[in-house]
Structure 1
Amino acid sequence: MATEPGVNAGVAIYHALAAFQSGQVQAGIDELSAALRGFTDAGNVRQAALACARLGWAFETYVGNRTAARVWFRRAARLLRDEPDCLEQGWVAIAGAGCDVDDPSELRSKAELALDRARRFGDVNLEAKALADGGLACVQAGEVTEGMFMLDEAIALWCGPADDRDAAAMGVCSFFTACYYSAEFDRASHWVDDLRRVGLIGPAPGAGVLLTGHCAAVQATALIELGRWSEAESLLARSIAEFEACMPIPSWHPAIALADLRIRQGLLADAEALLVGKDANMQALLPVARLHLARGEVDLALATASRGLRMVGPDRLRGVELLALVAEAELAAARVGAARTACDELMDRARGLDVPRLRAQASRAQALLLAASGDLAEAISTMEQALDAVPSGLPVLRVELLLGLVRLHEQAGNRAAATVEAARATSVLAGLDVALPARDTVLLQRFARTAPPTGTTALLTRDGAVWSVSCDRVRVRLPATKGLRYLVELIRAPGVERHVLDLVDEVEGVAVDGPDRHRLGDAGELLDSAARRAYRHRVEELRTAVEEALADGADDRAAALQRQCDELVRQLASAFGLSGRSRTASSAAERARLNVTRSVRTAVARIGAELPAAGQMLDRRIRTGVYCAFEPAADDPVRWIVQS
């Protein structure tokens, strides 16, 4: 009878893995907990350690709770500390997904231990997983060629003799992560059919749909770099829908990739809705920092990027991107000395790195620093050198660098050179399916080779108690309705998203003694823009505190801080109507959305009745909803300007 608990535990492990494959996450965790108790009661230390490792994997992969995952991984390692060399030590060393180990030196050390145990004890599944994690560590350290060879070998084993599907799922995640950061998109495509043939990629719940989403994120990133944004968006939306149709948790990799696309498009509120709660993971951390910087929240961008740099240690690939963002943020805060420090470290990490996209980012950051230091000639030369080094297969990156050149020439007062570079950017854009944010669209309009025809500018001008609208020598006077005033606020700031409650407050004012619109309604407490900023700051502080507690081995304190952070994230998510919490018709935000939309569309219709061409264009470029914006395009026949 002494072995009975161990036997029962083995059955529980089987049921746990089956539960995860069918998308029943909590049931799988419960079964693993039962297995751990059984192995512990039987005195089977090695199997108890494997059960702990699997619990860590479950919390990491299916729950997204990295704090709990690390606690279980540590417990597993502690159980095996006094055991003689054994296969289980290898499995525990690389129990989690390699892409969730932030520091590549740590990942490499664990992978080497696992590879040693795999080859000594003859376990091909452990060997494949160790090769995948070791390959990813090499890629992150800048040894791209060697790392990708190791990853190829791992994938070949999973398409052949290796048959552990759970280990394979984590290893293939490492492969896709390496392809993503090193821009090895062709290599990822090369293996997709084989991975699909052996069932590692597919629509089934569990590992299959997770890997399908990760694969879609890598493919979409390639499409984004190629300027095929509509295709990328469709692929990601389809992947998100497939994932959430068979899994009880939000989509991960494709949602983060879509958020990154939204930031490029200037749709910042949409990006935040996709990223809420995901910023503990490294893949999401960089887009979150970019989002903060795009909003002008420089301190938050720096805090997030700095946390990322602490997490990744000597990682060269991710370090280059994070340091480039730090340098840009420091320049935005007019701290040239701090930007120079970031650039110096950035250039050290980028030196000899054979990843064109990252080399270009490093050169761009250096050019911006030179410009801020007053050396515009050298800044322009550096940006031109970066542009010359970009391969033709990265047209979106070429556009980004050309726009940088336009701005540098404008800063130098050389309008002719700025016009030439703007024309080059426009020429590249003509062959792409790309939606530039309003800031870039306005820049290209400013330096268009051909001046816009007379009469293509529409003016909104305040005239006492009314507004005048003029275009093509036609001028009409319209009463200053709420809808027209909302419209004016949006046109004043092209491309800037405004929450309807903030828009209402701006136009109507906030009653000192009246009720707070942001806290009315049945949809729960809504957060205004100031409150959302405060929440973001507090979440970032808690994320940093969790990392510090884990580094100190204070697991209980880390868990308590994680619970606080999770609660704040839930509250922030509710402000976006996320987490399955729909807004009711009586909520303040919903009422504001309906009223603002109706008022704005009425104002646009009145303008259209008097100025048909200008009104139709305006109707296409005004976006209404919980978040509203005026989003002009470079080829619009009418350019709207507010004069007041």
Structure 2
Amino acid sequence: MATEPDADAGAARSTAMAAFGEGDIQAGMDQLSADVRRFAAAGDPRQAAMACARLGWAFETFRANRAAARAWFHRAARLLEDEPECLEQGWVALAGVGCDVDDPHELLKRAELALDRARRFGDVDLEAKALADGGLAQVEAGNLVEGMSMLDEAVALWCGPARDQDAACMGVCSFFTACYYAGAFDRVGHWLDDLRRVGLVGAVPGGPAFLSSHCDAVQATALMELGRWTEAEAVLARAVTEFEACMRLPSWHPAIALADLRIRQGRLGDAEALLLGKEAHLQALLPAARLHLARGDTDLAIATASRGLRMVGSDLLRAVELLAILTEAELAAGKVEAAGEACGRMTERVTGLAVPRLAGMAGAVEARVLAAKGDLVGAITGMEQAVDGLPVGLPVMKVALGLELARLHEQAGNRAAAQVEAGRVASVLSGLDVTVPPRDLELLERLAHGRAASRTVTLRCGPAAWAVECDGVRIRLAHTKGLRYLAMLMSSPGVERHVLDLVDQIEHVVPDGPDRHRLGDAGELLDGTARQAYRRRVEQLREEIEDALAIGEDDRATQLQRECDELVAQLAAAFGLSGRSRRAASAAERARLNVTRSVRTAIARIRTDLPEAGDVLDRRVQTGLYCAFEPDPTDPVRWIVHP
């Protein structure tokens, strides 16, 4: 039978966690704040510390505010400094989600303390959480066998005697994260039925909904690696819809995974919108850095990767990927010496890691550095080894590296070898459902098929229908607003158009009232140049926040976080994202939804009969509050519009 204080604490915790589960974040945080004051006033430092720890977790999880979270975690630890050894010390040590802890050495240290308290006082729930976080730390540090064994033991406890669902959800999150970074996708499938059976994964508000969406993100990532991108997109779209309907909150893990897919597809504007406000979290670091690199903003890519490296400490798995991005960004910036230094650090960390995906990535990056230094022979040898070392389960990476190998052979003057590699790539690619970058398509056309890709597609408006022509193929499309919007954008390449301008011009609206661009908006909208400046300032602030936290200046970190949050809110307004910066009933929001739906439908109709031409449009047409057609000289087809 629980003592009265314990029962009171349990009821307070249940109230707060129920509010979080229903998506009422502020109510849950208000409840925890009240609990801190009440337990402190009652002279109960242990329960006050537990409430502080949960409040820190809430700031970290729901507000992405690491500065405030750190302050509450520190307060929780201070409240227990003079207490004899107790269970609460173990729970406070593992108060947050394991995958949000930067340094695996620090996470392992906390997990060992918690495991000691759990086994000493017989708390199987704390034991399972400690095993999960400790296992994640071991995996991140490169000890995959030991780490996965600990994670399996933790999941077995949650499928058996452990009963604390909140702790289980945080621990299973650590399990999914470890499987994601180690590429152990089959392990997720092994436990999934049991996790569903005990109610830890499912469309139920609270932890199960978070875990269900996290599991979907991991499975979609596996589909991406296998080259099944349409399936991956369907899984992620469903996960986002189900989570947001269940939780009344923006989705997290599936949104980040979908951003990664959008980057691969070349839809960079969509990727940025999905990542906005999430870049401070470890899970979003890699796609954020990749996004900057894909945009050609090497300074921002270098800054983001460097910040991430400071955050992850001794985490080998994430460090290898961040160093790979850093090396590529330095190469793109023409800083070959700096790229070589970053590559050396990457090689040191990847040595001995039994993760084929990371080994292949590292080998390819090393080859790129050699090529930049003029050592084509060494680059070709390194790329060949990277390609040959890839297992069958990584066909997308095999295609990417095979294309680079073909390009290196061609650069070295060995066209025959280049054609052989291009043929191998074309063979693998024929069985994949992926978007191939224009530069790679051109290479395949030139080497594997012996002709260059320089086709022209015309979109012409006729009196009865639209006509699309390419290589003698002519299709007719009925008049729609989507095609008219599309033609307007394509008539002015590179020019951003506000959705209200598009609607007004197509519907011949004559403005005679208040400026509709401001109806329902949260503030001044940003043009492309201003958004770029905001991105750079946000990254600078995130770096300053990490520096302040590293030296214990929590108050300064909190002030910087406020400024960062304000800038992110303004960026969200510019992108027309949901939340406080956009009113769902605004004229601009209605126009954004209608124009986006109409344009994407029009592109899909073209894509049905002319897949390659439609793919170019899908990549190059950006939709949102601002829309634009941004063609690239390397595109395999060139669009000409006669509106």
- Please give the range of the TM-score, normalised by the shorter of the 2 chains: 0.7 to 0.9
Q: Return the letter of the residue paired with 2:396.
A: V
SS in 2 for 1:458: strand
- State the alpha-carbon separation in 2 of the partners of residues 433 and 615 from structure 1: 16
> 1:470 and 1:35, CA in 2 relative to 1: closer, same or farther beyond 3 A?
closer
Q: Return the letter of the residue paired with 2:542.
A: R
Partner of residue 579, structure 1? 578
Where does 1:241-390 land on structure 2 (aligned, <5 Å)? 241-390=241-390
TM-score after normalising by structure 1: 0.85
> 1:332 and 1:125, CA in 2 relative to 1: closer, same or farther beyond 3 A?
same
Where does 1:114-125 land on structure 2 (aligned, <5 Å)? 114-125=114-125
- Greater Cα offset, 569-578 or 431-440: 431-440
Cα shift at 1:19: 2.2
Where does 1:367-516 land on structure 2 (aligned, <5 Å)? 367-451=367-451, 457-458=455-456, 487=490, 490=493, 499-500=496-497
- State the alpha-carbon separation in 2 of the partners of residues 96 and 528 from structure 1: 38
Where does 1:585-604 land on structure 2 (aligned, <5 Å)? none
SS in 2 for 1:280: coil
Cα shift at 1:30: 1.6
Question: 5+ unaligned residues in a row in structure 2: which ranges?
Answer: 459-467, 474-483, 503-514
- State the alpha-carbon separation in 1 of the partners of residues 344 and 78 from structure 2: 40
Partner of residue 563, structure 1? 562
Matching residue within 624, 632, 638 for 1:640: 638
- State the alpha-carbon separation in 1 of the partners of residues 278 and 585 from structure 2: 26
Cα shift at 1:7: 7.1
Cα shift at 1:18: 2.5
- State the alpha-carbon separation in 2 of the partners of residues 614 and 133 from structure 1: 51
Q: Return the letter of the residue paired with 1:555.
A: D
- State the alpha-carbon separation in 2 of the partners of residues 123 and 178 from structure 1: 24
Cα shift at 1:299: 0.3
Work out whether 1:622 is the aligned partner of 2:625.
no
Partner of residue 494, structure 1? none
Structure 2 contact 21–247 (Cα < 8 Å) conserved: no
Q: Return the letter of the residue paired with 2:546.
A: E
Work out whether 1:207 is the aligned partner of 2:215.
no
Question: 5+ unaligned residues in a row in structure 1: which ranges?
Answer: 461-468, 475-480, 491-496, 506-517
Partner of residue 162, structure 2? 162
Work out whether 1:195 is the aligned partner of 2:195.
yes
1:442-494 Cα offsets, whole Å, 9 max, x none, are 332232324379xx83389xxxxxxxx998799xxxxxx9998953664xxxx
Cα shift at 1:618: 5.3
> 1:483 and 1:348, CA in 2 relative to 1: closer, same or farther beyond 3 A?
closer
- State the alpha-carbon separation in 2 of the partners of residues 274 and 87 from structure 1: 39
Structure 1 contact 289–305 (Cα < 8 Å) conserved: yes
Q: Return the letter of the residue paired with 1:525.
A: E
> 1:6 and 1:167, CA in 2 relative to 1: closer, same or farther beyond 3 A?
closer
SS in 1 for 2:575: coil
Partner of residue 22, structure 2? 22
Structure 2 contact 13–32 (Cα < 8 Å) conserved: yes
Partner of residue 538, structure 1? 537
Q: Return the letter of the residue paired with 2:239.
A: S
Work out whether 1:547 is the aligned partner of 2:546.
yes
- State the alpha-carbon separation in 1 of the partners of residues 165 and 91 from structure 2: 14
SS in 2 for 1:622: helix
- State the alpha-carbon separation in 2 of the partners of residues 86 and 616 from structure 1: 64
Cα shift at 1:501: 5.7
Cα shift at 1:196: 0.4
- Greater Cα offset, 564-573 or 76-85: 76-85
Partner of residue 233, structure 1? 233
Structure 2 contact 265–435 (Cα < 8 Å) conserved: yes
Work out whether 1:41 is the aligned partner of 2:36.
no
> 1:617 and 1:354, CA in 2 relative to 1: closer, same or farther beyond 3 A?
closer
SS in 2 for 1:541: helix
Work out whether 1:142 is the aligned partner of 2:139.
no
Q: Return the letter of the residue paired with 2:61.
A: T
1:278-300 Cα offsets, whole Å, 9 max, x none, are 00001101100000000000000
- State the alpha-carbon separation in 2 of the partners of residues 530 and 590 from structure 1: 23
SS in 2 for 1:204: coil
Structure 1 contact 458–614 (Cα < 8 Å) conserved: no
Structure 2 contact 489–628 (Cα < 8 Å) conserved: no
Structure 1 contact 275–284 (Cα < 8 Å) conserved: yes
Cα shift at 1:37: 1.4
Cα shift at 1:70: 1.5
- State the alpha-carbon separation in 2 of the partners of residues 391 and 412 from structure 1: 27
Number of residue equivalences:
599
- Greater Cα offset, 153-162 or 547-556: 547-556
Q: Return the letter of the residue paired with 1:158.
A: W
- State the alpha-carbon separation in 1 of the partners of residues 472 and 211 from structure 2: 59
- State the alpha-carbon separation in 1 of the partners of residues 380 and 239 from structure 2: 41
Q: Return the letter of the residue paired with 2:324.
A: A
SS in 2 for 1:142: coil
SS in 1 for 2:456: strand
Structure 1 contact 501–589 (Cα < 8 Å) conserved: no
Partner of residue 527, structure 1? 526
Q: Return the letter of the residue paired with 2:54.
A: R
Cα shift at 1:171: 0.4
TM-score after normalising by structure 2: 0.85
> 1:138 and 1:588, CA in 2 relative to 1: closer, same or farther beyond 3 A?
closer
Structure 1 contact 224–232 (Cα < 8 Å) conserved: yes
- State the alpha-carbon separation in 1 of the partners of residues 121 and 586 from structure 2: 63
- State the alpha-carbon separation in 1 of the partners of residues 319 and 224 from structure 2: 22
Q: Return the letter of the residue paired with 1:428.
A: V
Cα shift at 1:500: 3.1
Work out whether 1:74 is the aligned partner of 2:74.
yes
Q: Return the letter of the residue paired with 2:543.
A: T
Q: Identity over the aligned pairs, expressed in percent? A: 61
SS in 1 for 2:327: helix
Structure 1 contact 133–171 (Cα < 8 Å) conserved: yes
Partner of residue 133, structure 2? 133
- State the alpha-carbon separation in 1 of the partners of residues 516 and 16 from structure 2: 43
- Greater Cα offset, 42-51 or 59-68: 59-68
> 1:179 and 1:616, CA in 2 relative to 1: closer, same or farther beyond 3 A?
closer
> 1:402 and 1:314, CA in 2 relative to 1: closer, same or farther beyond 3 A?
same
- State the alpha-carbon separation in 1 of the partners of residues 98 and 211 from structure 2: 14
Partner of residue 464, structure 2? none
- State the alpha-carbon separation in 1 of the partners of residues 222 and 486 from structure 2: 41
Structure 1 contact 9–36 (Cα < 8 Å) conserved: no
1:369-408 Cα offsets, whole Å, 9 max, x none, are 0000000111011001000000011111101111211222
Structure 1 contact 6–39 (Cα < 8 Å) conserved: no
Cα shift at 1:418: 2.3
Q: RMSD of aligned C-alpha atoms?
A: 3.7
- State the alpha-carbon separation in 2 of the partners of residues 114 and 390 from structure 1: 39
> 1:412 and 1:520, CA in 2 relative to 1: closer, same or farther beyond 3 A?
farther
Work out whether 1:86 is the aligned partner of 2:86.
yes
> 1:147 and 1:426, CA in 2 relative to 1: closer, same or farther beyond 3 A?
same
